[in-house]
Amino acid sequence: MARFLRMDGSSLPARMTLIGGNTLWFKVSGLGPDRKHLRIASSSPAARVSVVSARDSNVEQKLKLDIGDVRIATRATLTAHTQGGAPDHATQGVEIQLEPALALPPAGDETGMLARLLLAEAKGPGQPGFVSQSRTLLSMQWMRHVLLNRLKFGSRFFGAGNAGTLAALIVAPKQVEGFEQYPALRGIQEKNLRDFVKIANDATDSRHAAMREFMTNAIAVARGSNPGTDPCPTGLYAWRTAGEDSPGKNFVKFITEGGNDFYTLSEAFRRDPLLRGQ
């Protein structure tokens, strides 16, 4: 009986997930009943197995599994066979769930812009201030409500001129740091987005599942398919990283969630945004 192993010698699980474009390096330890290296076959053309090294003097052979373009989720099974083609039933195979690579919506779309904003502003897995996926999701939903509330109240009252769309509001001066020249972003924002996509699409990275959930949540909120509700009776109108200064005298802190402080408007400003009584 042979065994499927990771390159560090630990066992490959009987079931695992890989994503389009991934490469898995692995080993098979043990020989077939003919005392020769086993031939490992894949049931799917999207998962291609190739031999890296298989010396007769070594019971271990090194192999590589390349995952091609996966358009829809599917499965592949790795099975062992003798060099003559007979199945080696003594060696347990590996079932692989093949998932499409996750991509952000196009940068030129309003949805793509908002998804990038949420990923840049929310606290993701491994970042300071991250508590849980559910609380980060709330934070993302509330950010979207902040922007919608500003549009409804009047973007001019927040220094955004006559912005009439989310896209116009986001790129207006002093609205969202780093997005004034969108689609160009600050260096750290660009790097973080590249890292998020890379990790989410690398199933050999132990962080990929958490990052994939983080990105999927951001895209769903940006598309409006998971909008959540505004928790504030008077509406949310601003956010800051938790612990930072207030956005201004017309804002009142309402709650901290997902590593961000959220603000509503003062009663005086809601009643008279032109401040005619002052």
Cα diameter, the chain: 94
Q: How far is the C-alpha of 147 from the C-alpha of 167, rounded, in Å?
A: 10
- Over residues 98-106, the mean pLDDT reads 97
CB 219 within 8 A of CB 33: no
What pLDDT sits at residue 252? 97
Helix axes 133-153, 110-121, angle to 10 degrees: 130
> What value does the mean pLDDT of the chain take?
95
Please check whether the domain covering 3-99 is classified as CATH 2.60.40.10. yes
What pLDDT sits at residue 277? 55
Model pTM score: 0.90
What pLDDT sits at residue 278? 55
What pLDDT sits at residue 57? 85
Strands 260-265 vs 251-257: parallel, antiparallel or unpaired: antiparallel
- Over residues 147-174, the mean pLDDT reads 95
What pLDDT sits at residue 58? 93
Q: Closest by alpha carbon to 21, among 215, 192, 210, 204? A: 204
State pLDDT tens for residues 3-46.
999 999 999 999 999 999 999 999 999 999 999 999 999 999 99
CB 214 within 8 A of CB 124: yes
Place of tokens 């500003």: 150
What percentage of the chain reaches a pLDDT higher than 90? Answer: 95
Residue ranges per structural domain of the chain: 3-99, 110-271
Indicate the helix (H) or strand (E) that contains 254.
Answer: strand 251-257
What percentage of the chain reaches a pLDDT higher than 70? Answer: 99
Q: Closest by alpha carbon to 139, among 11, 262, 20, 258? A: 258
Q: How far is the C-alpha of 224 from the C-alpha of 111, rounded, in Å?
A: 9
CB 171 within 8 A of CB 184: no
In the three-class reduction of DSSP (H, G, I as helix; E, B as strand; rest coil), residue 241 is classed as: strand
Q: How far is the C-alpha of 191 from the C-alpha of 210, rounded, in Å?
A: 18
Q: How many alpha carbons fall within 13 Å on the CB side of residue 264? A: 12
Place of tokens 């996750």: 102
- Write the DSSP symbol of residue 174: T
